[in-house]
Chain A
């Protein structure tokens, strides 16, 4: 009887099934939301705490006068007016503009020299290693190892190696006429050490890009009688455009934010990069000028954005 009763009420059974289905649906909905959150949650949390909040707080600080100790005073665009005072910079009457533009000048100098180097040299190495029939991994590893070292370690090691009086390089190779790398060739030394330590990262990216190019393209080009140069320009470079865009944009952003190498190795007096002045104003000096440092930082951020957009437009891959 009971059984009959159970099966007897068809409407109740349908309702129960619907209920179960609805429950499943709603659980499914939640699952769709919760499951990805579990995976991306930690990253989102870190992104929020260490990027989004400081990002907006930094922008806010740029409109204030704050020494990190006393109360924050809102000053509007005053900090920006000071650092973008072009007249004051030209006439050397505004110290803040002077530092900002001087810092920007040497940052640009570093970027203009370093970005092509950090893209072209690893590309050449990658092409050469790609052709190797033996020892590929070994050469790759040798070139990659310096990338594992911290900027501070690299800069200080090079500083000691190139020391005028007691450096290994001068004592071995230029015993009678030592070269003052640290004073007369400071920037060249910084370029060299950055290239030495940075070549490995981009090399790996280019190696991956090269191995992704179908061999059939080259075979077809061979049948058409294309020489190596034509194959490089018509096949390799276009096929590597994404890697080139990525390394150029990331290299530019990194170069604009350069700090460790000039700070640790040392630049000639008065030739600091912008990040050094930002650090000085924020923390390095006896009294912090966080507002001024933030205004410089925001301005640098805007400049980097402009350069990145230009690079994207120039190098955009058109399907």
Chain B
């Protein structure tokens, strides 16, 4: 009897483990009676996640009994990791939100579904969209995604740290088309408080050391260049004078140095070393956004998605949003960007007509409410959003009227592979590669950019 009980127990445990393993393999999509349920994977986990959650809750309430969206958000890296790994066993979600810079590679690999007919059902038209947001989803006349928003790299500034009497002058300067990096450095110098206890330090810039790639691409775009050319996808096009200047300009910000060729014009040159990192500009090892939201920095640079946090009004912060400054007086004040798009993978789990209807209803709902969505730190991709006064009154609402200054990623399958390495190499410059610190000169910058290009070239050829 005892033996039998043990056997039954062992069998029970085995069955339990198997059931557990099956359950872990992924949630299944069900039709709860007449309600069609779809799964939606997205990378919205930042300060904007509450806005997407609200939209989904509202949709599920409005379509109760007919459609239901089960959202599953993961941080960007995990989100894409999950998509690729789910590709092998056809278990990708029914609907996914991806960045438009990844579309060319997906389309080249033939893993996205042509959703031209669904886009037609949603009644989306090219004319309703701003800039190239529509065309970045269109390949050979077919739509492989539905555009949602635009994600530019921006400069956040804290009005509370403007010197008394210069509030209007500085605000106008920062927002004008002529605002340059050198002028920004001057402002940083004027505001930075480097004396006294470290806890009372005020930085001119709380530098985002993990954001050097978009900074570099922005300065490159301002000089009229791109990182890669469509005609030769495996060849980076930034290992040249424009690329060196862009990298040096990014590097000069943490060192508070102006853009002369030999790095001799260092601001506030003093024996105390005030011009080095950690004084005028924050050092790496410090949370850039935390410094900014604590009112300890005049500027910081980040994606527009940080706006809900950065622009929260407090006693120490009254933040504004501007485009990144110009690399020099003759450049155009444009910024690099990306954007979210809705897409359906061929490897979506058990697609059906009923699910398609639910997808159409949901995408239509989100796009119709894109004004609300963009309140969560996005620039609207649709023309009609400019009618939404709530959104347009936000600090970044005005950017929807400036979409000609927001540059989209190059529509080429190697774009991400080519652009990713430069971020790391420029970050090394910013942190004083090989402990050279402030002695970094033109040749060091050239060598780093050339290495990044070589790296990008080899990776692009290997895929």
Which of A's residues lie within 8 Å of B, judged by CB? 35, 38-39, 41-42, 45-46, 49, 65, 67-70, 92-96, 163-166, 170-171, 174-178, 180-184, 186, 268-270, 283-289, 292
Task: List chain A residues, Cβ under 8 A from B209.
Answer: 269
Flag if A181 contacts B199 (CB, 8 Å). no
26 contacts between A and B (CB under 8 A): A38-B11, A42-B13, A45-B14, A46-B17, A67-B84, A69-B111, A92-B451, A95-B458, A163-B287, A163-B290, A164-B282, A164-B283, A164-B285, A165-B291, A166-B290, A170-B198, A180-B278, A180-B283, A183-B431, A186-B285, A270-B433, A283-B84, A284-B81, A287-B463, A289-B462, A289-B463
Flag if B105 contacts A286 (CB, 8 Å). yes
Please report the C-alpha to C-alpha distance between residue A39 and residue B463 in the assembled complex, in whole angstroms.
Answer: 46
With both beta carbons as reference points, the residue of chain B lying nearest to A93 in the complex is identified as: B454
Q: Would you give the shortest CB distance from B447 to chain A, in whole angstroms?
A: 10
CB of B164 closer than 8 Å to a CB of A: no
Q: Would you give the shortest CB distance from B407 to chain A, in whole angstroms?
A: 18
Please report the C-alpha to C-alpha distance between residue A174 and residue B199 in the assembled complex, in whole angstroms.
Answer: 10
Which of B10, B199, B201, B287 is A171 in contact with, Cβ under 8 Å? B199
CB of B294 closer than 8 Å to a CB of A: yes
Which of B77, B85, B291 is A166 in contact with, Cβ under 8 Å? B291
Known pairs A166-B290, A269-B209 / 19 extra A-B pairs, C-beta < 8 Å? A45-B14, A68-B85, A69-B106, A94-B458, A95-B454, A96-B458, A163-B285, A163-B286, A164-B285, A165-B282, A165-B286, A165-B290, A175-B199, A269-B427, A284-B81, A286-B105, A287-B416, A287-B463, A288-B84
Flag if B84 contacts A69 (CB, 8 Å). yes
Please report the C-alpha to C-alpha distance between residue A68 and residue B84 in the assembled complex, in whole angstroms.
Answer: 6
Q: What 0/1 pattern do residues 93 to 106 of B give for CB contact below 8 A with A? A: 00000000110011
Flag if A165 contacts B287 (CB, 8 Å). yes
Which of B's residues lie within 8 Å of A, judged by CB? 7, 10-11, 13-14, 17-18, 21, 77, 80-81, 84-85, 87-88, 101-102, 105-106, 109-111, 197-199, 201, 209, 278, 282-287, 290-291, 294, 296, 416-417, 420, 424, 427-428, 431, 433, 451, 454-455, 458-459, 462-463
Flag if A270 contacts B424 (CB, 8 Å). yes
Q: Would you give the shortest CB distance from B438 to chain A, in whole angstroms?
A: 15
Please report the C-alpha to C-alpha distance between residue A163 and residue B283 in the assembled complex, in whole angstroms.
Answer: 11
Please report the C-alpha to C-alpha distance between residue A171 and residue B296 in the assembled complex, in whole angstroms.
Answer: 14
Flag if A292 contacts B462 (CB, 8 Å). yes
Task: List chain B residues, Cβ under 8 A from A183.
Answer: 283-285, 431
Q: Would you give the shortest CB distance from A297 to chain B, in whole angstroms?
A: 15
Q: Would you give the shortest CB distance from A46 to chain B, in whole angstroms?
A: 7
Please report the C-alpha to C-alpha distance between residue A186 and residue B285 in the assembled complex, in whole angstroms.
Answer: 9
Flag if B14 contacts A42 (CB, 8 Å). yes
Top 10 closest pairs, chain A to chain B, by CB: A286-B416, A182-B285, A183-B285, A283-B81, A164-B286, A42-B14, A180-B285, A95-B458, A165-B286, A68-B84
Decide if the interface of chain B is mainly helix, strand, loop or mixed: helix
Q: Would you give the shortest CB distance from A129 to chain B, in whole angstroms?
A: 35
Please report the C-alpha to C-alpha distance between residue A268 and residue B434 in the assembled complex, in whole angstroms.
Answer: 11
Please report the C-alpha to C-alpha distance between residue A41 and residue B290 in the assembled complex, in whole angstroms.
Answer: 52
Please report the C-alpha to C-alpha distance between residue A286 and residue B100 in the assembled complex, in whole angstroms.
Answer: 12
Q: Would you give the shortest CB distance from A253 to chain B, in whole angstroms?
A: 24
Task: List chain B residues, Cβ under 8 A from A288.
Answer: 84
Which of A42, A166, A170, A268 is B431 in contact with, Cβ under 8 Å? A268
With both beta carbons as reference points, the residue of chain B lying nearest to A98 in the complex is identified as: B455
Which of A35, A67, A92, A178 is B198 in contact with, Cβ under 8 Å? A178
Which of B10, B109, B296, B458 is A39 in contact with, Cβ under 8 Å? B10
Flag if A286 contacts B81 (CB, 8 Å). no
Flag if A283 contacts B80 (CB, 8 Å). yes
Q: Would you give the shortest CB distance from A190 to chain B, in whole angstroms?
A: 13
Please report the C-alpha to C-alpha distance between residue A49 and residue B24 in the assembled complex, in whole angstroms.
Answer: 14
Q: Would you give the shortest CB distance from B87 to chain A, in whole angstroms?
A: 6
Flag if B285 contacts A68 (CB, 8 Å). no
Q: Would you give the shortest CB distance from A192 to chain B, in whole angstroms?
A: 15
Please report the C-alpha to C-alpha distance between residue A68 and residue B81 in the assembled complex, in whole angstroms.
Answer: 10
Please report the C-alpha to C-alpha distance between residue A165 and residue B13 in the assembled complex, in whole angstroms.
Answer: 51
Task: List chain A residues, Cβ under 8 A from B282.
Answer: 164-165
With both beta carbons as reference points, the residue of chain B lying nearest to A70 in the complex is identified as: B109
Please report the C-alpha to C-alpha distance between residue A94 and residue B21 in the assembled complex, in whole angstroms.
Answer: 42
Q: Would you give the shortest CB distance from B224 to chain A, in whole angstroms?
A: 25
Flag if A286 contacts B198 (CB, 8 Å). no
Answer whether A181 and B81 are a contact pair too, CB < 8 Å, given A95-B459, A269-B431: no
Flag if B290 contacts A287 (CB, 8 Å). no
Task: List chain B residues, Cβ under 8 A from A285.
Answer: 416-417, 420, 459
Q: Would you give the shortest CB distance from B48 to chain A, in whole angstroms?
A: 21
Flag if B287 contacts A287 (CB, 8 Å). no
Q: Would you give the shortest CB distance from A269 to chain B, in whole angstroms?
A: 5
Task: List chain A residues, Cβ under 8 A from B85.
Answer: 68, 283
Task: List chain B residues, Cβ under 8 A from A65.
Answer: 462
